[in-house]
Structure 1
Amino acid sequence: GLFIENRGQGLVVGLAGGTDILAGANIIVSHLDSARIDLKPRPVSGDGDTGLGMLRTHYYGGIKKYHWVNIPLCLTGKVVRTDGEVIDVSIGRKRNDPVFVIPDLLPHLSKTQNRRKLSDGIRGEELRAVAFSGPVFSDEEKDPVSRKVMSYLRRRYGISEEDLISSELCLVPAWGPREVGLDRGLIGSYGHDNRVSSFSANESLLSMRKEGKVPDRWCLSICFDKEEIGSEGPTSARSAFVELSFHRILELSGKRGTSRELSAAMSSSFALSADVKSATNPLFRSVQDPANSARLGAGLTITKYTGRGGKIGANDASAEMVSAIRRLYNEHGIVWQMQETGKVDQGGGGTVAKFLAARNMDVLDTGIPLLSMHSPFEVLSKSDLYMAYKGFSAFFLHHPVQKP
């Protein structure tokens, strides 16, 4: 087996197959980051009039900001001190922990707020979370509320206000997954997008290794970071992490790792871009094309292209690639459905597929359909999750292209 970590925010899990790496690999790519509320570098502020200590934030990824008010939030992440010590922070996950909340305005006084557009109902600078509630009796001390917040963090974690500048802290929902519906057929949780794809791909590989199965070719599950903000940075799909991983495999295979060998290995590879997809919402059917939309419980999706408008920003997979995966799913009893994000010009989105295609790989989008994507409580079908596990296992085990 193979395990390569990238700065604690990306990884490759690999399994050697029956053919040389120069013949290519079967790759499933996903991302580990989810839409969330990040803290600003100087997050702590005090409101002297109310005695409330607040946390300034900057949202991460495409969210509907009004989703994130009036729900319990936990603070999680890390702080790196100047001496290099990494301090893990987690407040709100345990049952007896305090939580944080971004307070909305009561309906009795919302006349002016109600005139705003829905997208502007809660503004970015209004996403401030309550972190402290006094009382503060000192009139002489400068910003006593902020000092109280920092005093707590110093006692519990040994961090200073300046330490927060070199931190990665975020607010996420302070609840776990729950079964949804009387039949318990659905799972609701924060972060399905896209950890459910990473989980399914890695679980498929680990199960194969545990059972002693040898795939036709090298198998790689590559998990990236920063997809929700455009795949920028050294842990993203735009980085050289893919090339470095292939170089490592070439070395393990006794190759020299030349540019020609690297090019041959990547060009001969097939990849599935595993990311969640939009499921038809019965309350908002008008944004979907019924003939080309996904339904919860109808199986793993195949998506030929994503993008916006005229397929802008999409990886438009070849008909041959779609045919190969369709045949593979059919042969191994995988329930699947064709999917397009929504009606033309209604909106759109993208995945990391195009960044793998830039390495001259054949890539196809596939994934699990969700309701309420990018919200604090996304919903998927258990049966679709199982089909993802089965479909990814079949892709890893078998060469997707029909032999002549």
Structure 2
Amino acid sequence: MKNERLINDYKAFLDKGKTERECVAQIISLAQAAGFKDISECQSLKAGDKVFVQKMNKAIALFVVGSDSIEKGMNILGAHIDSPRLDVKQNPLYENDFLVYLNTHYYGGIKKYQWVTLPLAIHGIVCKKDGSSVNVCVGESAEDPVFCISDILPHLAQKQMKEVASDFISGESLDLICGSGIPSKKDDENSDKKDKPSAKKAILAIIKEKYGIEEEDFGSAELEIVPAGAARDLGFDRSLILAYGQDDRSCAYTSIRAVLEADSGKRTSCCLCVDKEEIGSVGATGMGSHFFENALAEVIARLPEGYSDLSLRRCLAACNMLSSDVNAAFDPMNSDLFDKANASFLSGGIVFNKYTGSRGKSGASDANPEFIARLRGLLDKANVKYQMAELGKVDQGGGGTIAYLAAKYGMNVLDAGVSVLSMHAPWEITSKEDIEQAYEAYKAFLTLE
């Protein structure tokens, strides 16, 4: 491993950024330390200036202004910072036969059975009617309690074991155990229910004492359930990383680092980190929104030539973009799912996906070969390792990224990211070599003219 500092910083980023809000907070802190300013603080911009624009604390765009006219386009690294998880519902707390649960709704493409019997943590924010808010992070510190979803013991699981994997754990059964009560004695069964202790009330009292949160405050909360624990080295040789959320924070972090360390050149550099990719890039903070073009409009309005819609459109059409998103790593234990000649391998370097989509490239962004050839030449010159791949065999699977939403502007877009084993599982696997090669590739890409 050549860049141990990068790897350690990356693991620390994963540990502190298990939600989109936590990622954006870290990115802003890193950006400000590197000389970036909130665009609201800048009345005008010139070559060399560094600014950021954020949206709802869940999406952010960083810009390093180049010396060329903005109409000549930018070099963009675009990633997403949301990951599959469980979300707490708005009326979540209930008691069922002396156990207290939080009701959840899963987010993104998960295998539901992978989330049971794991130590889980709660991250997020609770917004109160008086305008105040409470940040929540429970389960990460050694002193914290953790939470768990129970499963049936094998002795009683004969029926469950006959069901298909997609069905034997239902979405409505992914509820989090967050406390317990003591069963009443038989003599007390007919006593006044008002006199019986309530485990739910006891949990609410703890929550109110520790956080000042009432039960109705869950209605304006954004609480995410994620695996508890830190990123760890994997294997005797420590060549791999085991961590939650590496899809797509492996690409987001390396893209951010590349832009933070980029020198001002002719073309403006941009790093875009958006939300909601795992559920279709929807909402005000997803790539399907107008966040990116609105952020760019704010930049153009502060440049000497001033804003016009034509300048904005010309800029977008002239951009080059790497959709910094992960690809499925070849799995020797399930090799029949892959076309081995067109698969990506752990430690094989950054992965170029000419197209994504599924079943006849449906929903794909299909990159132009001229653009790919320029990138190949650039990375060969920079001695960066890369591989060409697709996500599984034809008709076997497939997937999508934010690339097609950027391509609608007419820019050059290519998916380029890190290989991931056990993608979308609570704990995902990447190679340290690939993290380093992605970082080097993104740095080289920002010099493209």
TM range (shorter): over 0.9
Structure 2 equivalent of residue 222 of structure 1 = 272
Cα offset, 1:143, TM superposition: 8.7
Aligned partners of 1:304 and 1:187: how far apart in 2? 26
Q: Residues 21 and 249 of structure 1 are in contact (CA less than 8 Å); yes or no, is this contact kept in structure 2?
A: no
Cα offset, 1:160, TM superposition: 1.0
Structure 1 equivalent of residue 85 of structure 2 = 36
Aligned counterparts, 1:315-326, within 5 A: 315-326=365-376
Residue identity matched to 1:179? D
Q: Which stretch has the larger CA shift, 325-334 or 187-196?
A: 325-334
Is residue 2:199 matched to residue 1:140? Answer: no
Q: Residues 273 and 352 of structure 1 are in contact (CA less than 8 Å); yes or no, is this contact kept in structure 2?
A: yes
Aligned partners of 1:145 and 1:266: how far apart in 2? 56
Aligned partners of 1:195 and 1:232: how far apart in 2? 19
Structure 2 equivalent of residue 380 of structure 1 = 430
Secondary structure, counterpart of 1:385 in structure 2:
helix
Is residue 2:392 matched to residue 1:332? Answer: no
Cα offset, 1:215, TM superposition: 2.5
Q: Residues 103 and 175 of structure 2 are in contact (CA less than 8 Å); yes or no, is this contact kept in structure 1?
A: yes
Aligned partners of 1:292 and 1:216: how far apart in 2? 35
Residue identity matched to 2:193? E
Aligned counterparts, 1:41-80, within 5 A: 41-47=90-96, 49=97, 51-80=98-127
Q: Which stretch has the larger CA shift, 85-94 or 13-22?
A: 13-22
Structure 2 equivalent of residue 345 of structure 1 = 395
Residue identity matched to 2:302? L
Aligned partners of 1:383 and 1:323: how far apart in 2? 23
Distance 1:222 1:143, change over 3 A: farther
Residue identity matched to 2:226? V
Secondary structure, counterpart of 1:308 in structure 2:
coil
Structure 2 equivalent of residue 181 of structure 1 = 235
Structure 1 equivalent of residue 164 of structure 2 = 117
Cα offset, 1:39, TM superposition: 0.7
Structure 1 equivalent of residue 12 of structure 2 = none
Structure 2 equivalent of residue 203 of structure 1 = 257
Q: Which stretch has the larger CA shift, 319-328 or 169-178?
A: 319-328
Is residue 2:417 matched to residue 1:367? Answer: yes
Cα offset, 1:324, TM superposition: 1.6
Q: Residues 46 and 143 of structure 1 are in contact (CA less than 8 Å); yes or no, is this contact kept in structure 2?
A: no
After superposing on structure 2, the runs of 4+ consecutive aligned residues of structure 1 that deviate more than 3 Å are 136-139
Q: Which runs of 5+ in 1 are unaligned?
A: 400-404
Aligned partners of 2:114 and 2:266: how far apart in 1? 45
Aligned partners of 1:116 and 1:321: how far apart in 2? 48
Cα offset, 1:252, TM superposition: 2.2
Q: Residues 181 and 198 of structure 2 are in contact (CA less than 8 Å); yes or no, is this contact kept in structure 1?
A: no
Cα offset, 1:82, TM superposition: 1.2
Residue identity matched to 1:2? V
Structure 2 equivalent of residue 193 of structure 1 = 247
- State which of 21, 24, 30 in structure 1 corresponds to 2:70: 21
Structure 1 equivalent of residue 32 of structure 2 = none
Cα offset, 1:301, TM superposition: 0.4
Secondary structure, counterpart of 2:269 in structure 1:
strand
Secondary structure, counterpart of 1:172 in structure 2:
strand
Q: Residues 266 and 361 of structure 1 are in contact (CA less than 8 Å); yes or no, is this contact kept in structure 2?
A: yes
Secondary structure, counterpart of 1:76 in structure 2:
strand
Aligned partners of 2:197 and 2:88: how far apart in 1? 19
Aligned partners of 1:377 and 1:158: how far apart in 2? 32
Cα offset, 1:242, TM superposition: 1.3
Secondary structure, counterpart of 1:322 in structure 2:
helix
Secondary structure, counterpart of 2:273 in structure 1:
strand
Q: Residues 70 and 311 of structure 2 are in contact (CA less than 8 Å); yes or no, is this contact kept in structure 1?
A: no
Q: Residues 316 and 409 of structure 2 are in contact (CA less than 8 Å); yes or no, is this contact kept in structure 1?
A: yes
Q: Residues 281 and 288 of structure 2 are in contact (CA less than 8 Å); yes or no, is this contact kept in structure 1?
A: yes
Is residue 2:361 matched to residue 1:311? Answer: yes
Q: Residues 24 and 265 of structure 1 are in contact (CA less than 8 Å); yes or no, is this contact kept in structure 2?
A: yes
- State which of 10, 13, 16 in structure 1 corresponds to 2:59: 10
Q: CA RMSD in A?
A: 1.3
Cα offset, 1:136, TM superposition: 6.3
Aligned partners of 2:245 and 2:236: how far apart in 1? 23
Q: Deviations over 1:310-349 (max 9, x none)?
A: 0000001111121121121111111000010010110111
Is residue 2:407 matched to residue 1:357? Answer: yes
Aligned partners of 1:3 and 1:277: how far apart in 2? 28
Aligned partners of 2:133 and 2:374: how far apart in 1? 46
Cα offset, 1:2, TM superposition: 1.1
Aligned partners of 1:269 and 1:17: how far apart in 2? 13
Secondary structure, counterpart of 1:200 in structure 2:
helix
Is residue 2:438 matched to residue 1:391? Answer: no
Q: Residues 254 and 435 of structure 2 are in contact (CA less than 8 Å); yes or no, is this contact kept in structure 1?
A: yes
Cα offset, 1:254, TM superposition: 2.1
Q: Residues 17 and 216 of structure 1 are in contact (CA less than 8 Å); yes or no, is this contact kept in structure 2?
A: yes
Q: Deviations over 1:259-292 (max 9, x none)?
A: 1111111111111100011000111000000010
Q: Which stretch has the larger CA shift, 253-262 or 86-95?
A: 253-262
TM-score by length of 2: 0.86
Q: Deviations over 1:281-311 (max 9, x none)?
A: 1110000000100000010000000001000
Structure 1 equivalent of residue 151 of structure 2 = 104
Cα offset, 1:77, TM superposition: 0.3
Secondary structure, counterpart of 1:74 in structure 2:
strand
Q: Deviations over 1:362-382 (max 9, x none)?
A: 110000000000011100000
Structure 2 equivalent of residue 89 of structure 1 = 136
Q: Residues 27 and 221 of structure 1 are in contact (CA less than 8 Å); yes or no, is this contact kept in structure 2?
A: yes
Structure 2 equivalent of residue 281 of structure 1 = 331
Aligned partners of 1:157 and 1:197: how far apart in 2? 34
Q: Which runs of 5+ in 2 are unaligned?
A: 1-49
Secondary structure, counterpart of 1:57 in structure 2:
strand
- State which of 318, 322, 327 in structure 2 corresponds to 1:272: 322
